[in-house]
Structure 1
Amino acid sequence: MKLLVLFVFSILSIANGYKVLFLVPFPGTSHWLVLQSFVKELVNRDHEVTAIVNYPIMNFSSPNYTEILISPHFDLSTTFTQEDAHKSADESYFEKVRSYDTYCTKSSEYGLNHTNVQKVIHSQDLKFDLVINADFFHDSWFMFAHKFNAPFISICPYGYSDFFDRANGLLTPWSHVPHSLLPYGDDMSYTERVHNVILSAYDWWFRNWVLLPQQNEIAQRYFGHLAEPGKPLPRIQDLYQNISLILVNAHRSTSKPRPLMPGIIHYGGAHIKPPKPLPTDLQQYLDTAEHGVILFSLGSYLQASKLPKEKIDMFLNAFSKLKQRVIWKFEDETYKVPPNVLVKKWLPQTDLLAHPNIVLFIAHGGMSGTFEGTARGVPMLFIPFFGDQQRNALKSVASGNALMLKFSDLTAESLSTALEEMLTNKVYKNRAKEIARLFNDNLVHPMDEAIFWIEYVMRSKGAKHLKSNAAYMPWFSYLLLDILIVPVIAIAIVYLTLKTVFREMKSSVNKKGKKQRAKKVK
């Protein structure tokens, strides 16, 4: 009887759930580690989720979950090698803007061209209530929303971009809102504001005149069969304006205030949960560390074992002089290391950071790792490489819970100095604990808030009432230029008309006077 009741309830829960198509076109492992927590949460809340992904969710299965793999996935190293990552630390901000096109455009097309994805594109019997695209400049994938005539949401693992504002009816005020790559606050100096305007304008130009046209061409090619006579496919640019919701990997405690529309929701920290028990060897290593443990990880893409050998040896030499122990995410576990250093191919990073004996987190500045260190109240020493990592690092430095070293300028002396400063100066630890209290002080857990809004969009069939009509206004109307121009034109017309009339009247009077004078002469 109990089994029958459970079966009935399971059927009812599935029946009450929605059907979600979850798209993860970018093969970045760090992104997927965060995004899969959304997939699991939706499934656990009895929604039927079909996910197109590059990697399977390990140790997870459910009758509500269908996984469509892009396998083999796009090899990022063909366009962005480990050596490129090492060099990109010295790239200009303009080069960073252009770099997204290098691998995002190619991986967009690679995924759409995959046999398993093609089956979904050409399917006739699939229906979905919502399409979620894990967007990392893979805008062509939003065309799935058009195919299935469903509202769509974007989840952005990398943080905020100005075009989110425009899609929701807001022009980003560059006077006090810095570009997403810049480490500035909302009190920029004159030169910083000039820099911000130039970079933001360049980013706008690059997106609208380079990136989106390429994404649109890809979408038109792979979804062209959906076009009908007299009814062509929408442009990606127009489709994006109809987005229902944008979930942004940001948090109010680590970002300066900026104007925010109701269709943009922050989810920073959504993937962070209460720590799970650590493997026995790691637990013992941490528990018995009299002077604490330093955690060193460069994330999921960068491989520490492929750093230049002189850099690896420099790190190990500096660590060997410390009284603290070090756990280093290092892919070659056979590499000879000092007695106080433990190397592991993979680490339960967020769970390790929660251990009270972790005294310092050496990281590359990825968004997820930065949030994990922030949430756990651990001071951080950043060595950023590419993308938004330098921005994240410098923001933490400005907050007082971190220091940053530039990889290309890294020396044994600068590393040892930074380690000594952070391990002996309690200011960083105290500030880290203070920021952690702010980060964790939420009305509800960020995951619960994000899922609420995802379900809200499905319940309200697109949440169209959240979208301001300003999203569809031409820029000159948005800025009231038409309001200013019309009276100016009207005044100009009246002025020119009166000027013409007076000129004609004056001319007429002059002609009449000449005639009268001519008569008098006669």
Structure 2
Amino acid sequence: MFIYNIIFLVIFGQCYTYKLLVVFPLPRSSHITLGHGYVRHLLKAGHQVTYITPKPLNMSSTNLKQVNLASLYDDFPVENLINLKDVLIDKTVANDIRNIMKVMFEHANATIFHKSVQSLIQDTTEWFDAIIAEYMFSGLYSGFSSVFNCPFVWSVSMQPHNIHVALIDELQNPAYTYNHWSSVDPPFSFTERVTELYETIRYYYYAWLLSGDENKSYVNAFSSAVEKRGNVLPPYSEVKYNASLILGNSDISCGHAMRLPAAYKQIGGYHIVDIPPLSKNLQEIMDKARDGVIYFSMGSILRSKDMTDDMKNRLLDVFSSLNQTVIWKFEERLRNLPNNVNIVDWAPQQSILGHRNCLLFITHGGLLSTIEAVHFGVPIIGLPAFGDQYKNINRAVKKGFGKRVDLDMEMPKNLQVAIKDILQNSRYKEKVKEYSTIYHHRIAHPGEELVHWVEHVVRTRGAQYLRSSALLVPLYQKLYLDLVILVTITTLVVTKSVFQINILVIKYFYVKNKTE
């Protein structure tokens, strides 16, 4: 019978169709790309997907239902959070963890109370086999699992770090694990260890300050939908940490080796699939670039057009001195362009990086861009501005396939030096090829792993066997405070007993001697 069951699973195992809810409502290009990637892979595997997104996929499928949250762009204008003028001149960056957490809470709150989302969860005929939601400093989306009473999977867009790991396991020791805002890797110096400890404590203090508002939003948003289904809303403190898995957009080739729980699966690069061909114009530009192509993009939030005119002109002077062709993602037209500089308001990044003539990628250092550079084997120059960009670029420098140039008024001059160094030294290309080999040397494509683990969670009814027992152990037990108290009390009792015995012995002999 066992053999027959195995044969049945092998033959028919992939024929199951699951109904899945995918929640990626952050209106930012990279997060939309990641959400679209989940949906494409799950649809390709034959599953039914309901997709909560601010930018619906431009595709038609009977298996796809999209919940359009385009109005969230008005509540979360990402382009106003930070611009290059702030970084280059004013040195003011929206990078404080407290402000970021507050903004992410407000966005998550707006999402779960959106009329389209409320319509979905209040519909008692709706059901799902599993839910995948992006974690971005707020656990409110875990409430969907309370409504639909099904397994829940967190997706994270960054390299694994303490805040993420603590969702499915214990908080790791900050003496050798970094937080999201770190720009350094372990082993840490004394100062760095103190800083990591301080930043970890500060994060959880701010999380504690927000916990009351989050709990209130959780109850108000989901309680009526749960009650309609005849169930009782579980405590938010339990639901937030009840995920079956974390699927991380990370890969060791771009990251740092660290201890991860069994329920943390790295699937970095799953969004790279079905790379579209270049437009006729770009294809011609890159094919004719005899000395190669340098691609320059600051991502979707940092816009090159926000630079001062002086900065733009100084960068053009740098590019005009190169023999290479430059493709610059720029949001407006520029006058008096050098012959070797080409401006595009939107760039098919993967298609450009995948071209044989692409020699160098100048980037802001976002994780998607870093992964894509490693995927295609293109060395990078990083111009980090906020968040995990510093960590990503510093790692590229440490691994030997990138250089870092700080965003300040000396940037054009320093960029010119960095470009010359990378173009003249083959070691950068050799190193990125080495890490590209590591990246590609996998058992399966990360998109296939994504589908496998989502299906696995459904088939095992939540993959409870992967759940870390650390979540069930109170802090005082982890620190052995109960043992410390027991040993302390025992020591005090024994000490006092010995002391009392000594007193009695002394009295006995004193009285005896006096009597004699």
Answer yes or no: same fold by TM over 0.5.
Answer: yes
Letter in 1 for 2:286: L
1:500 positional shift: 4.3
Q: Is the 8 A contact 1:135 1:155 kept in 2?
A: yes
- CA displacement at 1:228 relative to structure 2: 6.2
Residues 47 and 339 of structure 1: CA distance in aligned 2, closer, same or farther (over 3 Å): same
Deviation at 1:328, TM superposition (A): 1.1
Shift of 1:47: 1.0
Residue 170 of structure 2 aligns with an amino acid whose one-letter code is: L
Spell out the pairing of 1:20-39 with structure 2 (5 A cutoff).
20-39=20-39
Change (3 A) 1:74 1:496: farther
- 2:379–2:401 contact (8 Å) kept in structure 1: yes
Query: Counterpart of 2:217?
Result: 218
Counterpart residue number, 1:115:
115
CA distance in 1, matches of 2:206, 2:301: 26
3-state secondary structure, aligned to 2:72: coil
Distance 2:94 2:196 in 1: 11
Question: 2: distance between equivalents of 1:371 and 1:411?
Answer: 24
CA contact (8 A) 2:22 2:39 kept: yes
1:486 pairs with 2:486? yes
Is the Cα–Cα contact under 8 Å of residues 82 and 303 in structure 1 kept in the other structure? no
Alpha-carbon separation, structure 1, partners of 2:179 and 2:138: 20
CA distance in 1 between counterparts of 2:13 and 2:281 reads 41
1:68 Cα offset (Å):
0.4
| Partner Cα separation in structure 2 for residue 87 and residue 263 of structure 1 | 40
Query: What do the CA deviations read for 1:470-517 (whole angstroms, capped 9, x no partner)?
Result: 21211121233323432332332343345446556766887x779x96
Query: Given that residues 87 and 407 in structure 2 are in contact (C-alpha distance below 8 angstroms), is that contact kept between their aligned partners in structure 1?
Result: no
Q: Does 1:302 align with 2:298?
A: no
Residue 48 of structure 1, CA deviation: 0.9
Q: Do the aligned partners of 1:377 and 1:432 also contact (CA within 8 Å) in 2? A: yes
User: Is the Cα contact below 8 Å between 1:86 and 1:385 reproduced in 2?
Assistant: no
Q: Is the 8 A contact 1:133 1:155 kept in 2?
A: yes
- Kindly provide the amino acid, as one letter, of the partner of residue 151 in structure 1: P
Q: CA deviation at 1:79?
A: 7.1
Q: How many residues align?
A: 503
Q: Is the 8 A contact 1:298 1:364 kept in 2?
A: yes
Deviation at 1:446, TM superposition (A): 1.4
Q: Call closer, same or farther: CA 1:236–1:18 in 2, change over 3 Å.
A: same
Runs of 5+ consecutive residues of structure 2 not aligned to the other structure: 1-11
Equivalent in the alignment of 1:71: 70
Which string of whole-angstrom CA distances, capped at 9 and with x for unpartnered residues, describes residues 124-149 of structure 1? 11111111111112311211111111
What are the superposed Cα offsets for residues 92-133 of structure 1, whole Å, 9 maximum, x if unpaired? 999532242242122112222221112013221111111111
CA deviations over 1:375-412 (Å, ceiling 9, x no partner): 11111111111211111111111111111111124343
Q: 1:502 to 1:86 in 2, by over 3 A?
A: farther
Aligned to 1:173: 173
Task: Tell me which structure has the larger Cα radius of gyration.
Answer: 1
Distance 1:344 1:184, change over 3 A: same
CA-to-aligned-CA distance 1:50-99 (integer Å, 9 cap, x gap): 011110112x2211110000122233665762655653689799953224
- Unpaired runs of 5+ residues, structure 1, are 1-11
1:418 is aligned with what amino acid?
A
CA distance in 1, matches of 2:150, 2:351: 38
Matched, 1:87 2:86: yes
Match of 1:143 in 2: 143
Q: Where do 1:393-432 residues align within 5 Å?
A: 393-432=393-432
Tell me, yes or no, if the aligned pair for 2:22 and 2:51 is still in contact at 8 Å: yes
1:221 shift after superposition: 2.4
Structure 1 residue 434: Cα displacement: 1.6
Partner Cα distance (2:75, 2:158) in 1: 17
CA distance in 1, matches of 2:137, 2:308: 31
- SS, match of residue 258 in structure 1: coil
In structure 2, the residue corresponding to 1:223 is in which secondary structure?
helix
Write the distance in 1 (CA, Å) between the matches of 2:448 and 2:356. 27
Asked if the contact 1:179–1:196 (Cα under 8 Å) also holds between the matched residues in 2, the reply is yes
Whether the aligned pair in 2 keeps the contact of 1:93 and 1:199 (CA below 8 Å) is no
Letter in 2 for 1:436: S
Please give the secondary structure, in 2, of the residue aligned with 1:407.
coil
Shift of 1:351: 1.4
Instruction: Go from structure 1 to structure 2 and tell me whether the alpha carbon gap of 1:252 and 1:41 turns closer, same or farther (over 3 Å shift).
Output: same
Describe the shift of the 1:149–1:122 C-alpha distance in structure 2 as closer, same or farther (beyond 3 A).
same
Q: Which residue of 2 aligns with 1:193?
A: 193
CA-CA distance at 1:332 after TM superposition? 1.6
Name the CA shift for 1:120/1:508 in 2 (closer, same or farther; >3 Å): farther
The equivalent residue for 2:106 is 106
Partner of 1:3: none
Q: Does structure 1 retain, via aligned residues, the 8 Å contact 2:405–2:411?
A: no
CA contact (8 A) 2:140 2:240 kept: no
1:52 counterpart residue number = 52
Alpha-carbon distance between aligned partners in 2 of 1:24 and 1:85, rounded to the nearest angstrom: 26
Q: Does the C-alpha gap of structure 1 residues 14 and 454 become closer, same or farther in structure 2, counting only changes over 3 Å?
A: closer
Amino acid at match of 1:185: D
Shift of 1:183: 2.9
For residue 224 of structure 1, what is the amino acid of its counterpart? S
CA distance in structure 2 between the partners assigned to 1:103 and 1:337 by the alignment: 39
8 Å Cα contact 2:22/2:52 also seen in 1: yes
Checking the alignment, whether the CA contact within 8 Å between 1:303 and 1:330 is kept in structure 2 is yes
How far 1:266 sits from its partner (Å)? 0.7
The aligned residue for residue 60 of structure 2 is: 61
- Aligned partners of 1:197, 1:350: CA distance in 2, in Å? 38
Instruction: Determine helix, strand or coil for the equivalent of 1:133.
Output: strand
* Separation (CA, whole Å) in 2 of partners of 1:390 and 1:91: 15
Following TM superposition, where does structure 1 have runs of at least 4 consecutive aligned residues deviating by more than 4 angstroms?
12-15, 76-80, 82-86, 88-95, 226-232, 500-510
Q: How much has 1:336 moved relative to structure 2?
A: 4.5
Task: State whether residues 246 and 264 of structure 1, in contact with CA within 8 Å, keep that contact through their aligned partners in structure 2.
Answer: yes
Q: SS of the residue aligned with 2:96?
A: helix
Provide closer, same or farther for how the CA distance between residues 285 and 94 of structure 1 changes in structure 2, counting only shifts above 3 A.
closer
Cα distance, 1:179 vs structure 2:
2.3
> Residue 249 of structure 1 corresponds to which residue in structure 2?
249
2: distance between equivalents of 1:442 and 1:91?
41
2-structure distance, mates of 1:274, 1:370? 19
Distance 1:146 1:379, change over 3 A: same
Partner Cα distance (1:159, 1:43) in 2: 26
Question: What is the SS of the residue equivalent to 1:150?
Answer: coil
- Counterpart of 2:253, as a letter, is S
The residue that corresponds to 2:360 in the other structure is 360
Kindly indicate whether residue 363 of structure 2 is the aligned counterpart of residue 372 of structure 1: no
- What residue in structure 2 maps to residue 327 of structure 1? 327
Offset of residue 343 of structure 1: 1.2
Deviates more, 1:431-440 or 1:359-368: 431-440
